[in-house]
Amino acid sequence: MSVADEWTAGPTGSAPAAAQVDVLVLGAGPAGMAAANEARAHGMSVLLLDENAAPGGQVHRAVESRTPKDEQDRDGAKLAAAFRASGTDYRPGATLWAVEPATEGGGGKVFWSEGGAARSVATQRLILCAGATERPLPIPGWTLPGVMSVGAAQIALKTAGLVPEGQVWLAGQGPLLWLYAVQALERGGRLAGIIDLSPPGGLRRALPHLGRALKAPEYLWRGLQWQRRVRRAGVAVTVARALRAEGEGRLARIVVDGVAHPADLLLLHDGVVPNTQVTRAIPGCVHGWDPVQACWRPGLDLWGNTAVAGVMVAGDSAGIGGARAAVHAGRIAALEAARALGRITTDERDARAGPLRLLRDRQLAPRLFLDAMFPPLPPAAIADEVVLCRCEEVTAGRVRQAVALGCLGANQTKAFTRAGMGPCQGRICGPAVHGVIAAARGVAGGEVDPFRTRFPTKPLTLGELAALAGPL
């Protein structure tokens, strides 16, 4: 029985603990696919786990089954085709739930669930490419059915061809909101209007970064085009300060600065943050506060190595840089893994990574401009009655009460309120709970610890876990 057969064998197959790979990649988005392709090019065995049914991640979701519409789609399709041909052992529908870092002289171990059974494998290098999640935009009524995120609607569009129809409103700020509006209109969708909640003075704040941003002028050009196309399509854009969702059992209307409008669907967006759910659960994996993007990111060296030997991070889960930057970061991390495993020399690694760094830097050039244009909405403005933690139904007011009682950090808040302790494990509310605590204490975000995550980072059933043991 080959090593690959052992992994695919059912729960009654032989113990999978003997299986070993050179590199395990988490996530089949731009960074993950690029890392896998590069690692395979240097002869390393690669296993890639991804939760979704097909490669692409969020930006290139369902890219293999869609007709390419633009340069980004074509890049994604090319990357996915190379990935399919790379010889990577690709596992779609696989959810990673634990990482055991390397021990003295040995590799690390990774655990996941796939097809109703848990599996594990030893690996020399782990490259985490977990991408980003949308920053929550907690407003009154955002837990009502019929309120979703803009990213969710984009996934429905890309994977199932669902277009918005009826009284559909977009609200919040950031590039994705405008991109989705354009994509939805192009597919024949209809929008009732866009509620622009971006803090005033965006252009004034962003202007000092214009020179740098123009190193990759296509980003700003695309943004302007999106806004122009949306306005030309006759979609009303309302600049507003306060927004609430209302309805009995489901969304019925939105109230914008005191004015009510009928609503079937409200799509919220306030930018994206790195997905650090797995790295935060690894003991010793240091994270730092990014005051510009107002988020935590893992501490990395120039190659994507974390503080934990053998564990690497690439792409947006290391800090938001977008899909094009993520591809280069994935390749750079794989080159470093190839060096660490003796497949290439340090000189070879440096020579190959040099041009990739230049390409990546160019793609990162507009970030400061964009970050200054769309700073996250202030957590201090979230009303006390608004639910922050959707799973445990904990309001901003209760979190502020906990702070008043002397609760200094997000982990203490768990004990006081259960915020962040539901099934999503703080994936959604994390940035909001953290921001509300920092604002209530009057300190910078870096002064407040983030939610500590623990393995298993995704729920698994006892049945799945039992399959890991194999035959006794």
Partner 1 sequence: MFRRTEPTDCTITWEGRTLPARTGESLAAALLAAGITAFRETPVSGSPRGPLCLMGACFDCLVEVEGAQNMQACLVPVSPGLRVAMQRGARDFVEDAA
Q: Which residues bind partner 1 (CB under 8 A)?
A: 51-53, 58, 93, 116, 133-134, 143, 145-149, 151-152, 155-156, 159-166, 168, 187-189, 249-251, 264-265, 275, 390-393, 422-424, 427-428, 459, 461, 463
Say which residue the tokens 């910078």 belong to: 444
**Max CA-CA distance within the chain?**
68
Distance between CA atoms of residues 296 and 317, nearest Å: 10
Q: What are phi and psi of 246, to 5 degrees?
A: -135, 155
Q: How far is the CB of 339 from partner 1 (least distance, A)?
A: 33
Least gap, CB of 393 to partner 1 (angstroms): 5
Q: Which residues of 340-349 are buried (b: 16+ CB within 10 A; e: fewer)?
A: bbebbeeeeb
User: Cβ 334 to partner 1, closest distance in Å?
Assistant: 25
Q: How far apart are CA 448 and CA 437, in angstroms?
A: 7
CB nearer partner 1, residue 154 or residue 293: 154
| Contact partners, residue 249, CB within 8 Å, separation at least 6 | 144, 145
Q: What's the min distance (Å) between Cβ of 390 and partner 1?
A: 6
Q: How far is the CB of 80 from partner 1 (least distance, A)?
A: 17
> Cβ closer to partner 1: 152 or 220?
152
**CB 168 to partner 1: min, Å:** 7
Shortest spacing between CB 249 and partner 1, in angstroms: 5
Q: Is 144 or 307 the residue whose CB approaches partner 1 more closely? A: 144
How many angstroms separate the Cα of 216 from the Cα of each of 59, 211, 222, 364? Answer: 19, 10, 11, 8
Secondary structure of residue 454 in the 3-state scheme: coil
The encoded tokens of residue 459 equal 């729920």
Q: How far is the CB of 87 from partner 1 (least distance, A)?
A: 25
Give buried/exposed letters for 381-397 (b at 16+ CB in 10 A, else e).
ebeeebbbbbbbebbbb
Task: Give the C-alpha separation, 278 to 459, whole Å.
Answer: 13
Which residue lies nearer to partner 1 by CB, 100 or 264? 264
* CA angle in degrees (0–180, nearest 5) for 212-217-222: 135
Residue closer to partner 1 by CB (options 251, 407) is 251
Q: Which residue has the tokens 């990577």?
A: 88
First to last CA, the chain: 19
Angle (CA) 204 134 295, round 5°: 65
Kindly tell me which of 277 and 363 has the beta carbon lying closer to partner 1. Answer: 277
Nearer to partner 1 by Cβ, of 104 and 248: the residue is 248
Rounded to a whole number of angstroms, the minimum distance from the CB of residue 163 to partner 1 is: 5
Tokens for 407?
A: 């609760």
Cβ proximity to partner 1: between 397 and 422 the closer is 422
141: left (phi over 0), alpha (psi -120 to 50) or beta: left
Cα distance between residue 188 and residue 86, in whole Å? 37
Q: Which is nearer to partner 1, 187 or 362 (CB)?
A: 187
